[in-house]
Amino acid sequence: MKRKITNSLIFLFTMLLLNPSFVSAEDSLLEQVISGIVTDQDGEPLIGVNVVAENTAIGTATDYDGAFRLEVPDGTTNLVFTYTGYLEQVVEIKGQSTINVVMRTDVAILDEVVVVGYGKQKKSDITGAVSTVNVDEIQKIPTADVATALQGQAAGVNVAAATGAPGGNPVIRIRGLGTIGNNNPLFVIDGIPGDLSYINPADIESINVLRDASAATIYGARASNGVVIVTTKRGKTGAPRVSLNTYVATHSLTNNVEMANKAQYNQIMKEARENGGDDPLEYTLNDNQYADTDWADAYIKDAFEQKYDLGISGGTEEMSYFFSGGYFKNSGTVINTDFARYNARLNLDFKLLDGRLSIAPGIGYTRDNSNNIFEPTGGGNASFSPFLYAFSAIPHKEIYDVNSSNGFAEPDPGLGSGNPIGERSLETDQNQDDYLQFNLAAELKILEGLTYQFQFGYNTENTYNYYHLPAYSFGPQATVEDPYISETRARLNAWTLNNVLNYQNSFGEHNIGIMGGISREKSEFRSVGGVNRKLPSNSLEALSAGIGDEASFGFNSTSTLQSYFGRLNYNYGNKYFVQASLRRDGSSRFAADNKYGNFYSISLGWGLHHEDFFNVDFISEFKPRFSYGTLGNQNIGDHLFLARIASGGAQLNYPFGQEMRQEIVVGAINTSLPTPDIKWEETTTTNFGVDLGFMDDRWLLTFDYFTSKTEDMLVSVPVPATSGITTFPLTNGGEMENKGWELSTTYRQKKGDFRFDITANLSASKNKITKLGFADESFTEGYIEFVNFPTTRTEVGGEIGRFYIFQTDGIFQSQAEVDAHAIQPNAAPGDLKFVDTNSDGVLDDDDKVFFDSGLPKLEYGLTFNAYYKNFDLTLFFQGTQGNNMYNGMKMWLYRTDRIENVSADLVNAWSPTNTGSSIPRNVSTDPNSNIRPSDYFLEDGSYLRLRNLQIGYTLPTELVNKVAISKARIYISAYNLLTITDYSGFDPGISNSGLFTRGVDRGFYPLTKSFVVGINLGF
């Protein structure tokens, strides 16, 4: 029964699209008056439902009683009712003056129209793995970043913060890891590849994630890591509607890492130096001397965040508009950091030629202003986390000195160098980035069922970095001799041109869709920067004022892509679905012989519940799906197929000459291997899925299982240094497999004034390398101390980025125990006992063992919404299971072989009088190398987090209507309120953005906890 109605609605909808009757409003007289009440299925009046006389600009919206009154021109045959979250209703007037309408919620979501590559499809027609993100939910997350809001919202979409810094970009992975090369998905915004990080979440109408080959092949070129399709809001017919959404929030860091105070430090260090046979540090001998500074406390502050979003939309049948303006600011939880964003967007829709031609221009502008903090995320040199630097300053130093010119204290001689607060405060590292999106889409109905689609998109990203250091001296190792300035500007111009023909028709039970198109894309990057090493004054901020050595630099690279693509959809009676897609991509990134890659997919679906023989009342939908296909990846630099000669720079230049200050001569030579034959990386994916609906679709469930195999992975292959090369060549070096499953389910229930829904999604993936490099070389990464102490290893037969470290077996309690364990000759009681895992009587590299990587085995999100009368409640939980974290910060704060500050935990370190401790002894020489990478520092990074708790109250309509407000909702929210984890570091949710360094925690900027008060207004 329900199905029948929806099907007829689809039919009506399709008819409307394809057969517009050409009635024009201007020709008609206003004669007929129609009134009525619009309710939902439960008889509740719906406020603000859009009621329009079909094919005219004449419309109104329902009031707080759900009532409307509309004068319609004579000859109008239908009224169209639209309301977000509900199916469109078209009601024949047939001379009635009262029309009461029951809007049907989009409960099933099944008949939702989903934006897919180069077109739209009905959800019920889809045979691939497509996640539709509930945009309402992501808009409840207080953030300016869409990706952050996506975390835990869709099965198979794995989002993890790389850092908690304001404006920091999270790591987005679709279905885990599919390659050891670039794993970033493709973002398509309003049909044009773009940068999601610049899009205001408030502007988003829909987000769909294409996860399998069937859905994504149409973007063949860059689709192997999944495609995220985002559409922005557009105007709807009717009088101007204004929305104003705003919130304010306070953010605070939860500092769970307690540093030693002065007395504790003195105690720990005296013990460590004594155990190591070193003389005690002079300044530790008297607890009453010197300051007792809490550096961590001074480094962190509470942040204030605010966001304002204004939206205005409306229009007529011929023209509609959507305008939005937004402002966001987060004042940063670390001193001298912040992030602000300004957004504006205007989307217009014109209908010409009696509705046969639609033209839809859109323009979006974003400006980001930020005060940055450097974070050593990613692979390679572990560098030094600024958090670690601040936390490990010794308490004896003063922060401030009123007598110094910059207000900060230079450490007492003998206390070493550095004033982390001063250095952080005096450094200026600012970005001002602009992103301009210009889109023009047009659609022409050529014949019945045949449309031509044109899309042109031009995105410009301008980034500007300003870096300035005044001269200062905080001791010999923290001195800036002269004021320094560096400025860098970069511009990325990218355009896309799509021409697509679409044919769609039904012949009886046969429904056919054919799409074919061609696309061209070009991306040009230019940058320029300059440095001057000496400014005559700290207060000057122009390169031209510089009087020191200067340098300039810049890059220039262009890439193009030319593609042909086609898709065929067929279904018989909405029961049997077939879809086939094909794409041929030509890329400038490969040499002539390898430019083109061909990608294809085929998928099948069976609407079992439509079969006559299927009559299980309990099950309202049962649709198994299958897909198989190939996807490509060319996410690499430009011109890598050329045999490049490296030239210049500190690496190759060298001084010669007779003068004392020799001239520097440019060096140039081949530093890598030529890779003329590089070609497309290709992923083959198989997907089995099923869509289930129970109890009239009150309970929905979607399950997908996938396997994928990636060949010719584009990676920087490690080559032995003996080759003489210093830059690993990027080439097709490896194969891997990835498999996993995703489950998402939603249940809704309503009882009287109370209704609720609960949505859960789970995803799991597991990858395995099957071939690597030229000779199955392993990849070593995850360094903890500069380029020492690697913690991960990636090799054939295992997953990416497994931890590969020593295994410990507690702490030596006595000399007898040490003596009995001959493999650690330098050990003493209180040191860590390492396991001779291969029992060969020596402790060496062969004793390192693998531990699971930092990639979660399972990720999940759980959203619970409840509504009672005017109150609403949202609970959003999110978490991961089965991911390891290497607590590099702990290693640094537990090591007593330096003189920097240490964790307060160390007062309880093992000693002959404190043998129960789990912390190795304090010893300045660390002869046993307790700090070496071992499972002592490896922790379970699983966590469950209450990401959002929101309680809202919608003011009674009668009340707000008096002040011309149609809707007013106030809410309070707690974000990241609660985290359940065994992880002892700052934050298990901070994953590190590097592929081989996932879960390697070098002491990153943690996520913050925040409390939000917000208001949503509609006029």
Partner 1 sequence: MKKINYILLSILFLGVFSSCSDDFIEVENKEVLTEESFWQTEEHALQALTAAYAALHSASGSKWAFFEELYIAMSYRGDDIVGNTSEIYGRALTNFTNTTEESGPYNVWLASYAGIGRANQIIQRVPKMDDVDAGTRDVIVAEAKFLRALYYFWLVTGFENVPLVTTFETDPANLFPSQSTPQQIWAQIEADLKDADAALLETHEAQWTGRATKGAAKALLGKALLFQEKWGEAEVALKDVVDSDHYALLDNFADNFNGNGENGLESVFEIQFSGDRSNGNDERHPFNFEVSPYAFGGWELFYPSEWLVEEMQTDLDANGNPSERVYESIFFDDPQSDMYSLDGGGEIAYPDVATDLNHPAYFKKYAVNADENYYAGTNISLIRYADVLLMYAEALNENGKTDQAIIEVNKVRERGKAVPLATMGQEELRNQIRHHERPVELAMEFGIRWFDLYRWERGSTARESIKTTFQNHNIPFVDNFQDKHIIFPIPLQELDINDNLEQNLGW
Minimum distance between the CB of residue 880 and partner 1, rounded to whole angstroms?
29
Does 650 participate in binding partner 1 (rule CB under 8 A)? yes
**Which region among 288-296, 395-403, 787-795, 967-975 touches partner 1 (by CB under 8 A)?**
787-795
The binder of partner 1 chosen from 71, 297, 481, 753 (CB under 8 A): 481
How far is the CA of 474 from the CAs of 152, 416, 974, in angstroms? 45, 9, 40
Region 860-899 residues binding partner 1, contact defined as CB under 8 A:
897-899
Closer CB to partner 1, residue 551 or residue 616? 551
**Which region among 188-196, 203-211, 296-304, 558-566 touches partner 1 (by CB under 8 A)?**
558-566
Under 8 Å CB-to-CB from 792, ≥6 apart: which residues?
A: 780, 781, 782, 801, 802, 803, 804, 853, 886, 996, 997, 1000
β pairing state of 802-805 and 699-711: unpaired
Minimum distance between the CB of residue 764 and partner 1, rounded to whole angstroms?
29
The binder of partner 1 chosen from 100, 537, 651, 914 (CB under 8 A): 651
**Which region among 287-295, 368-376, 781-789, 980-988 touches partner 1 (by CB under 8 A)?**
781-789
Minimum distance between the CB of residue 783 and partner 1, rounded to whole angstroms?
9
**Which region among 120-128, 312-320, 769-777, 965-973 touches partner 1 (by CB under 8 A)?**
769-777
Does 352 participate in binding partner 1 (rule CB under 8 A)? no
Region 367-396 residues binding partner 1, contact defined as CB under 8 A:
none
Please say whether the beta carbons of 230 and 200 come within 8 A: no
Minimum distance between the CB of residue 409 and partner 1, rounded to whole angstroms?
16
Closer CB to partner 1, residue 647 or residue 870? 647
**Which region among 446-454, 690-698, 944-952, 987-995 touches partner 1 (by CB under 8 A)?**
446-454
Minimum distance between the CB of residue 992 and partner 1, rounded to whole angstroms?
20
The binder of partner 1 chosen from 5, 15, 542, 551 (CB under 8 A): 551
The binder of partner 1 chosen from 476, 536, 797, 912 (CB under 8 A): 476
- Return the SS3 of 515: strand
Minimum distance between the CB of residue 596 and partner 1, rounded to whole angstroms?
9
Does 402 participate in binding partner 1 (rule CB under 8 A)? no
Does 788 participate in binding partner 1 (rule CB under 8 A)? yes
**Which region among 117-125, 598-606, 723-731, 758-766 touches partner 1 (by CB under 8 A)?**
723-731
Closer CB to partner 1, residue 91 or residue 811? 811
Closer CB to partner 1, residue 178 or residue 734? 734
Q: Which amino acid is at 110?
A: L
Cα–Cα distance between 111 and 12 in angstroms, integer?
Answer: 13
Minimum distance between the CB of residue 585 and partner 1, rounded to whole angstroms?
9
Q: What six digits make up the tokens of 450?
A: 């045949």
Minimum distance between the CB of residue 416 and partner 1, rounded to whole angstroms?
7
Closer CB to partner 1, residue 644 or residue 1009? 644
Cα–Cα distance between 617 and 609 in angstroms, integer?
Answer: 10
Region 417-436 residues binding partner 1, contact defined as CB under 8 A:
417
Q: Which amino acid is at 338?
A: D
The binder of partner 1 chosen from 97, 552, 814, 915 (CB under 8 A): 552
β pairing state of 802-805 and 754-772: unpaired
Does 963 participate in binding partner 1 (rule CB under 8 A)? no
Binding to partner 1 by CB under 8 A, coded x per residue (else -) over 488-517, reads -----------x-x----------------
Backbone region of residue 773 per phi and psi (left: phi > 0; alpha: psi in -120 to 50; beta: other values): left
215: part of which helix (H) or strand (E)?
helix 213-216
Closer CB to partner 1, residue 99 or residue 281? 281
Does 790 participate in binding partner 1 (rule CB under 8 A)? yes
Q: What six digits make up the tokens of 667?
A: 């060096």
Binding to partner 1 by CB under 8 A, coded x per residue (else -) over 916-955, reads --------xxxxxx--x-----------------------
> The tokens 């001074």 sit on which residue?
298
Region 898-917 residues binding partner 1, contact defined as CB under 8 A:
898-899
Region 679-718 residues binding partner 1, contact defined as CB under 8 A:
718
Please say whether the beta carbons of 39 and 100 come within 8 A: yes
Please say whether the beta carbons of 772 and 779 come within 8 A: yes
Region 279-298 residues binding partner 1, contact defined as CB under 8 A:
281
Region 187-226 residues binding partner 1, contact defined as CB under 8 A:
none
**Which region among 488-496, 640-648, 915-923, 1009-1017 touches partner 1 (by CB under 8 A)?**
640-648
> The tokens 């049962």 sit on which residue?
622
**Which region among 291-299, 469-477, 833-841, 906-914 touches partner 1 (by CB under 8 A)?**
469-477
β pairing state of 101-103 and 30-40: parallel
**Which region among 292-300, 397-405, 470-478, 603-611 touches partner 1 (by CB under 8 A)?**
470-478
The binder of partner 1 chosen from 1, 447, 820, 964 (CB under 8 A): 447
The binder of partner 1 chosen from 19, 26, 94, 413 (CB under 8 A): 413
Closer CB to partner 1, residue 208 or residue 635? 635
Does 838 participate in binding partner 1 (rule CB under 8 A)? no
Work out the burial of residue 975: count CB atoms within 10 Å of its CB; fewer than 13 is exposed, 13-18 middle, 19 or more buried.
buried
Region 519-538 residues binding partner 1, contact defined as CB under 8 A:
520, 522, 531, 533
The binder of partner 1 chosen from 662, 838, 870, 914 (CB under 8 A): 662
- Return the SS3 of 469: strand
Under 8 Å CB-to-CB from 692, ≥6 apart: which residues?
A: 619, 621, 622, 623, 700, 701, 702, 703
Does 841 participate in binding partner 1 (rule CB under 8 A)? no
Please say whether the beta carbons of 61 and 239 come within 8 A: yes
DSSP sequence for 370-384: EE------SSS----
Please say whether the beta carbons of 235 and 317 come within 8 A: no
Cα–Cα distance between 301 and 252 in angstroms, integer?
Answer: 7
Region 241-270 residues binding partner 1, contact defined as CB under 8 A:
none
Region 818-837 residues binding partner 1, contact defined as CB under 8 A:
825-826
Region 562-621 residues binding partner 1, contact defined as CB under 8 A:
562, 564, 586-588, 592, 595
Residue 391 CB neighbour total at 10 angstroms: 26
DSSP sequence for 937-1006: GEEE--EEEEEEEEEEEEPPHHHHHTTT-SEEEEEEEEEEEEEEE---SS-TTB--S-STTTTEESS---
Count of residues that interact with partner 1, criterion CB under 8 A: 113
β pairing state of 130-133 and 204-210: antiparallel
Closer CB to partner 1, residue 615 or residue 839? 839
Closer CB to partner 1, residue 312 or residue 471? 471
The binder of partner 1 chosen from 553, 614, 868, 871 (CB under 8 A): 553
Going 991 to 864 to 747 to 63, the CA torsion angle's sign is negative
Q: What angle do CA 1004, 1009, 1011 make, to 5 degrees?
A: 155
Closer CB to partner 1, residue 320 or residue 794? 794
> Which of 539, 510, 399, 395 is closest to 449 using CA atoms?
510
Does 557 participate in binding partner 1 (rule CB under 8 A)? yes
Does 724 participate in binding partner 1 (rule CB under 8 A)? yes
How far is the CA of 798 from the CAs of 183, 289, 771, 833, 885, in angstroms? 18, 55, 10, 27, 18
How far is the CA of 852 from the CAs of 156, 163, 379, 857, in angstroms? 20, 22, 18, 9
Cα–Cα distance between 470 and 601 in angstroms, integer?
Answer: 58
